[in-house]
Structure 1
Amino acid sequence: MATIYDVSVLAGVSLATVSRVMNKNAKVSEKTTQKVLDAMKQLGYRPNAIAQSLASNRSNSVGILVSELHGPFYGSMMSGIEAELRTAEKHVIIAAGHSEEALEKDGIEFLISRRCDALILHVEAVSDEYLIELVNGDIPIVLINRYIAEIANHCISLNNELGGYYATKALLEQGHREFAYISGPSWKMDAQDRLSGHQRALTEFNVPYDATLTFEGDYQETGGSKGISYLLKQSRPFTALICANDEMALGAMTVIREKGMMIPEDISIMGFDNIFLSQFIHPKLSTIDYPIKQMGKMAASWTLKNTFNQAEQEITHIFTPSLVMRDSTRPV
């Protein structure tokens, strides 16, 4: 097996020069760099990443923990993170926590054990106290889609309450006064905030909140289909349905069509997230844009700036949602 010494002999350069080429040191001329690369290729030599990591105290990798690996929301988030880090020649290691405390902690410990230089965490089940202690440790950590006041400079989050407010206000302005609501899991902070925004808009327009027309969903299509089935059995009229995310809205729309009802003629529907599919279904879904890909890029920029000193841009910590009106809603 070829060694770095063999490369230096074949290329006719010192060991230090070979090391500089492997570490992409700009001080080595293009001609010398090519000689070293040619020698490495000829000998079939590949640098030992583990040895390099131990020598430099850097693995050039960033650990990412997400709640799930499936679905357009998490796909967009991971795509944004990876694209930004790849541009800076950093690699990612991904683990899933499945919104369970034990699994989230296990995933974090795994990423730390892989000598990741920093961690980007999308976690929901672990406590604020646990995360505050983690942030005060040795590894740079940034949280995405979570806000903790004590470590606000380590958080990249969305104003979910404002998004919930925008969603309901838009339909109120179209004349709707009878609302049904499918929320996310009640223990999740973003679900609580979106429902709070919904209630704030109702209060602003002097429309009473009807708890009997609220269903707790699961942020998946099944939650939407179960939710609308439950709501239609309540024998209470509503002209507008607001879903706390687009996936549940898609599930609800399927059931509504199966029951022979029309969207938006019979029921106007509003989602949340603005996932890729929302603009291609029929009718196109009105929703709240959640710039999760941009937030993923921002979390990566935070990591590059605070871990590798490679980013100069100003970090945005709280993103603002925006309203996207399409064909699934109409005035009363």
Structure 2
Amino acid sequence: MSTIDEVAKLANVSKTTVSRVINRHTTVKEKNRQKVLAAMEELNFKPNSFAQALASSRSNSIGMLVGSLGGPFYGVLMHQAEIELRRENIHLITSSGQESEEIERDGIRFLQSKMVDGMIIHSDTLHDDELIGIVKRHPKTVILNRNIPEITEHCLFLDNELGGYLATKYLIDTGHKQIGCLTGQLSKADSRDRLFGYRKALSEAGMPYNPSLVVEGRFDSETPIDAGKRLFERDLDVDAVFCQNDQLALSMYTIAAGFGKVVGQDISIIGFDNDHYTKHLQPSLTTMHYPLQDMAMLAVDKVLAMVNGDKIYPSDMLKPWVVERNSVNTQNKA
């Protein structure tokens, strides 16, 4: 295994210069930096990451807590964050909360134990007060999908209320009268905000809110088919369903078929997230686009600004939009 002395000798520079190149000091002349990098490549020299962290107070890693390590939503979020970090020669370390307060806390403690330079947290269960405390103790932290006024510059979130409103308005504008809503877990702020947007669109259109048209499901793959079935079993002449994510919408395809209904003709369905598979469904799913890749890129930009001591800005709010496909009957469009 090559040593820093061998790199310095081959590059004809001091060990201090090699150390500064490894730790990306801006004071190194570009000519010397290139010489050191060439020598490291020729000798296949790999810096000891732990020693590097001790020397520079940097681990060149960012920690990320998500709800789950599976599924299209978190998969896209983690994948894009890793792409952005790798461009900066920084590694991503991930942990999941599994909808448990204690597991989320343990995941955050695990990330901190790895000496990460900063954290990106997507919490499903921790209350705002606890997240405020985490940010105060570890200020190089970005909070996803939560807008907390006391730490607004650390927050990055989607306008979920707008998403619920636009999805429902689209169904109203295409002539639907009995619009059901299949929610995610109402313990989640995302679900509540999307439901509020649904109610807002109905109110704006002069349509009464009927709680019998709302059924609580789950955002993950454990969604019971029974949740969606209840909309049809209540015999409310439902002609459209706003599903609060695409996995819920996918379950509604199966339910509709079981009741002899053709999606896009007898029953209209709109989803939320624009997961990669939705355009391949038959019929292809009309859905709300969730700019997940943008969220991941902005989260990385924000956390690296914190790590590097650059200026950070107030909360960023991303906006969803309707992706029109074929699962909504538009024959009666206004």
The reply to whether residue 234 of structure 1 matches residue 237 of structure 2 is no
Partner of 2:87: 87
Answer yes or no: is the 8 Å Cα contact 1:224–1:247 preserved in 2: no
Moved more, 39-48 or 245-254: 39-48
For 1:205 and 1:120, locate their aligned partners in 2 and report how far apart those are by CA, in whole Å. Answer: 39
Alignment: residue pair count: 331
**Structure-1 residue corresponding to 2:328:** 329
Distance 1:114 1:108 in 2: 10
Deviations 1:167-217 (A, max 9, x none): 111111112111221111011111001011101111112212221222110
Looking at structure 2, the residues matched to 137 and 2 of structure 1 have their Cα atoms a distance apart, in angstroms, of 39
Aligned to 1:137: 137
Task: Output aligned runs, 1:177-188, within 5 Å.
Answer: 177-188=177-188
1:319 corresponds in structure 2 to: 318
Q: Displacement of 1:148 after TM fit?
A: 1.2
- How far off its partner does 1:5 sit? 2.5
Q: CA deviation at 1:31?
A: 6.3
Aligned to 2:120: 120
Give the match's secondary structure for 1:283: coil
User: Equivalent residue of 2:69, what SS?
Assistant: coil
> CA shift at 1:145, angstroms?
1.1
DSSP-derived class of the 2:261 partner:
coil
- Partners of 1:67 and 1:141 lie apart in 2 by 17
Structure 1 distance, partners of 2:297, 2:37, is 32
With 220-229 and 262-271 compared, the bigger mean Cα shift is at: 220-229
2: distance between equivalents of 1:218 and 1:73? Answer: 14
CA contact (8 A) 2:160 2:190 kept: yes
Greater displacement, 133-142 / 52-61: 133-142
- Over 3 Å counting, the alpha-carbon distance change for 1:200 and 1:40 in structure 2 is closer
* Structure 2 Cα separation of the partners of residues 32 and 265 of structure 1: 68
| Counterpart-to-counterpart distance in 2, 1:313 and 1:139 | 12
SS in 1 for 2:272: coil
Q: Distance in 1 between matches of 2:23 and 2:267?
A: 60
The separation in 2 between residues aligned to 1:44 and 1:268, in whole angstroms, is: 59
Q: What is aligned with 1:78?
A: 78
- Choose 228-237 or 18-27, whichever is displaced more: 18-27
Deviation per residue, 1:285-323 (Å, 9 max, x gap): 11111111101111111112221257x897761111112
Gaps of 5+ in 2: none
User: Which residue number corresponds to residue 278 of structure 1?
Assistant: 278
Q: Which amino acid aligns with 2:202?
A: L
Ranges in structure 1 where 5+ consecutive residues have no aligned partner: none
CA distance in 2, matches of 1:294, 1:107: 24
Matching residue of 2:197: 197
Q: What TM-score does the superposition give when structure 1 sets the normalisation length?
A: 0.92
- Rounded Cα–Cα distance in structure 2 between residues aligned with 1:172 and 1:138: 45
Distance 1:108 1:318, change over 3 A: same
Query: What is the correspondence of 1:33-48 to structure 2 with a 5 Å cutoff?
Result: 33=33, 36-37=36-37, 39-40=39-40, 45-48=45-48
Alpha-carbon shift at residue 276 of structure 1 (Å): 1.2
User: Alpha-carbon deviation of 1:39?
Assistant: 4.8
Matched with 1:291 is: 291
Distance in 2 between the 1:134 and 1:21 partners? 33
**Residues 29, 174 of structure 1: CA spacing in aligned structure 2 closer, same or farther, 3 A cutoff?**
same
Q: CA RMSD in A?
A: 2.2
Which residue identity is paired with 2:219? Answer: Y
Inter-partner Cα distance in structure 1 for 2:3 and 2:313? 43
Shift of residue 71, structure 1, vs aligned partner: 1.2
Bigger drift between 219-228 and 177-186 goes to 219-228
- For 2:57, the equivalent position in structure 1 comes to 57
Task: Kindly indicate whether the alpha-carbon contact (under 8 Å) linking 1:301 and 1:315 is maintained by their aligned counterparts in 2.
Answer: no
Q: Match for 2:317: what amino acid?
A: I
2:254 corresponding residue in structure 1: 254
Question: Within 1, Cα distance between the matches of 2:188 and 2:159?
Answer: 14
Whole-angstrom CA distance in 2 between matches of 1:201 and 1:34: 59
Which amino acid counterpart does residue 48 of structure 2 have in structure 1? Answer: N
**What does residue 148 of structure 2 align with?**
148
| 1:35/1:176 CA distance change after superposition, 3 Å | closer
Aligned residue runs from structure 1 range 202-217, under 5 A: 202-217=202-217
Q: Is the 8 A contact 2:242 2:269 kept in 1?
A: yes
